[in-house]
């Protein structure tokens, strides 16, 4: 028997800058680490292996992994070491300050790692908004080459995403499919190799 409930695709929100920086760090670490393993002598290959085992999961956790997924029923927050699933009915507020956070009905706060706050982007958006308010709206060009004046409110990218999430939450908070309790899962697939690499690195340094 098939369900008549339509399937909603998750909208994914990530930090392009964080991913780019993470990929670059992984490339550098891989190049240096593999070179040390292949050409090193004595304990050097083992130290390089332990460092890679500890470092690579951490770079993935903090730079590549973070993401926020949202659909009509719930939001899923994938942070460095935890995955938090919050049905819209359990979300009390989405707050933007020096960081972006979601707060559940119990008052527990979860930071949205994939949506970092850029004060520079906010100041740039404020300057553009001031131009709109003064009647000097910036001109924007769409994919077809057509130009138009920017007349709507100007927001920094992460602030605009938070606005979109708030609107989705307000629209779906009372829906039957959006009810339930938040769930939190530790990401041992990331934590275990990082811990193992750190322990191996400490043992090698102590023994040496």
172-181 pLDDT, tens digit per residue, is: 999 999 999 9
The answer, yes or no, to whether residue 3 has pLDDT greater than 90, is no
113-124 pLDDT, tens digit per residue, is: 999 887 776 677
Query: Is the pTM here over 0.85, yes or no?
Result: no
pLDDT of amino acid 1: 41
User: Directed axis angle between helix 188-207 and helix 44-59, to 10°?
Assistant: 150
Q: 23 near 79, Cβ under 8 Å?
A: no
pLDDT of amino acid 20: 95
The answer, yes or no, to whether residue 132 has pLDDT greater than 90, is no
Mean pLDDT of the region 67-85 = 96
When pLDDT is cut at 50, 70 and 90, the band that residue 158 belongs to is: confident
When pLDDT is cut at 50, 70 and 90, the band that residue 112 belongs to is: very high
SS (H, E, C) the chain: CCCCCCCCCCEEECCHHHHHHHHHHHHHHHHHHHHHHHHCCCCHHHHHHHHHHHHHHHHHHHHHCCEEEECCCEEEEECCCEEEEEEHHHEEEEEECCCEEEEECCCCEEECCCCCCCHHHHHHHHHHHHHHHCCCCCEEECCCCCEEECCCCCCCHHHHHHHHHHHHHHHHCCCHHHCCCCEEEECHHHHHHHHHHHHHHHHHHHHC
When pLDDT is cut at 50, 70 and 90, the band that residue 2 belongs to is: very low
pLDDT of amino acid 114: 93
22-71 pLDDT, tens digit per residue, is: 999 999 999 999 999 999 888 899 999 999 999 999 999 999 999 999 99
Q: 74 near 87, Cβ under 8 Å?
A: yes
pLDDT of amino acid 166: 94
Domain ranges of the chain: 11-117+156-207, 119-149
Tell me the C-alpha distance between 208 and 194, whole Å.
21
For a pLDDT cut of 70, what percent of the chain falls above it? 80
């Amino acid at each position: 028997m098939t369900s008549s409930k339509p399937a909603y695709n998750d909208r994914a929100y990530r930090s392009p800058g964080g991913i780019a920086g993470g990929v670059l760090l992984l490339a550098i670490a891989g190049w240096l680490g593999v070179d040390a393993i292949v050409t090193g002598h004595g304990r050097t290959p083992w130290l390089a292996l332990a460092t890679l085992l500890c470092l690579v999961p951490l770079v993935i956790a903090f730079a590549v992994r973070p993401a926020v997924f949202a659909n009509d029923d719930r939001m899923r927050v994938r942070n460095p070491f935890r995955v938090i699933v919050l049905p819209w009915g359990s979300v009390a507020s989405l707050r933007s300050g020096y960081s972006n956070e979601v707060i559940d009905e119990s008052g527990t706060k979860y930071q949205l790692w994939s949506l970092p706050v850029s004060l520079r982007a906010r100041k740039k958006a404020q300057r553009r908004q001031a131009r709109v308010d003064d009647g000097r709206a910036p001109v924007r060009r769409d994919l077809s080459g057509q130009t138009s004046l920017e007349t709507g409110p100007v927001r920094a990218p992460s602030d605009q995403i938070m606005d979109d999430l708030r609107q989705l939450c307000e629209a779906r908070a009372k829906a039957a499919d959006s009810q339930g309790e938040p769930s939190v899962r530790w990401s041992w697939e990331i934590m275990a190799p990082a811990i193992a690499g750190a322990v191996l690195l400490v043992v090698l340094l102590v023994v040496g």
